């Protein structure tokens, strides 16, 4: 977004060019580090608001450069890696990283994570159109839910339900809260209407390979991004 500069550190020339183009089209100023023996020098010269670091870099890996950056700055660092095992994720966090994206990934997921890190680190309110839960991304501007190449078009009410749930990102939301989000009231509305709406949305997600994304817990409400415990 205007005023936000990103430093992209990726040694795959084709991938780096594609990422830079997509990030710039989203409104960010993107600087690309190409001297992999002096990533820190590029960082200090550019003073980015966020760094995107590949782990598997020549000369020194991304963990090394993250530690070097952390000695000078607290800006958010987002790691990229083809190795998504738990050890790499743990190391990324231990070395000062703020989030991790495993390759291959969709640009929607990457953008959602960039937006989230900027919101947490700065007064970033210019683009709240993307919400992410794991590798599932809700695009409020286009009313779509996507996971990888799968994309689901949503009705107005389906969009409101998923927005309410994904804003909690793993937390349960009471039925009354969702009803207010849908109808701006939890009074004088047939409670069965919410159940019908949720069930229709679940069937649509199942048809797109996203079965089980919405979880029900008796007495608590609904959630996304957690293991189902009830029906």
Q: What is the pLDDT of residue 98?
A: 87
**What is the rounded distance in angstroms from the CA atom of residue 208 to the CA atom of residue 5?**
36
**What is the rounded distance in angstroms from the CA atom of residue 186 to the CA atom of residue 177?**
8
DSSP class of residue 138 equals E
Measured CA distances, 11 to 8, 28, 33, 106 (Å)? 10, 20, 9, 19
Q: What is the pLDDT of residue 185?
A: 46
User: If you classify domain 5-127 with CATH, what class do you get?
Assistant: alpha beta
Which residue ranges make up each domain of the chain? 5-127, 136-224
What token pair was written down for 193? 């209407």
Q: What is the pLDDT of residue 105?
A: 85
Q: What is the pTM of this model?
A: 0.59
Going from the first residue of the chain to its last (231 residues), give the mean pLDDT of each consecutive group of 10, the final group possibly shorter. Answer: 81 94 90 95 94 94 93 91 74 83 86 85 62 83 83 88 87 88 58 84 90 89 71 35
How high does pLDDT run on average in the chain? 84
**What is the rounded distance in angstroms from the CA atom of residue 158 to the CA atom of residue 153?**
9
What is the tens place of the pLDDT at every residue in 106-144? 888 898 889 888 887 776 544 557 788 877 888 887 888
Q: What is the pLDDT of residue 1?
A: 43
Q: What is the pLDDT of residue 141?
A: 79
Architecture of domain 136-224: Orthogonal Bundle (1.10)
Q: What is the pLDDT of residue 203?
A: 92
């Amino acid at each position: 977004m205007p005023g936000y500069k990103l430093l992209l550190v990726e040694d795959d020339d084709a991938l780096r060019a594609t990422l830079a183009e997509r990030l710039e089209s989203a409104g960010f100023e993107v600087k690309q580090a190409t001297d992999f023996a002096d990533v820190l020098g590029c960082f200090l010269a550019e003073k980015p608001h966020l760094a995107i670091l590949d782990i598997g870099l020549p000369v020194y890996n991304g963990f090394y450069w993250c530690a070097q950056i952390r000695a000078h700055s607290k800006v958010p660092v987002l790691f990229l890696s083809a190795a998504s095992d738990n050890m790499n994720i743990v190391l990324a966090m231990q070395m000062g990283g703020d989030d991790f994206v495993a390759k291959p990934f969709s640009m929607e997921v990457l953008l959602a994570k960039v937006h989230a890190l900027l919101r947490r680190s700065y007064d970033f309110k210019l683009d709240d159109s993307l919400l992410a839960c794991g590798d599932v991304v809700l695009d409020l501007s286009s009313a779509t839910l996507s996971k990888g190449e799968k994309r689901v078009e949503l009705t107005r009410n389906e969009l409101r339900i998923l927005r309410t749930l994904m804003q909690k990102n793993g937390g349960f939301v009471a039925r009354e809260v969702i009803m207010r989000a849908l109808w701006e009231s939890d009074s004088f509305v047939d409670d069965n209407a919410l159940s019908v709406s949720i069930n229709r949305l679940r069937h649509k997600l199942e048809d797109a390979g996203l079965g089980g994304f919405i979880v029900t817990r008796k007495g608590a409400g609904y959630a996304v991004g957690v293991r189902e415990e009830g029906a």
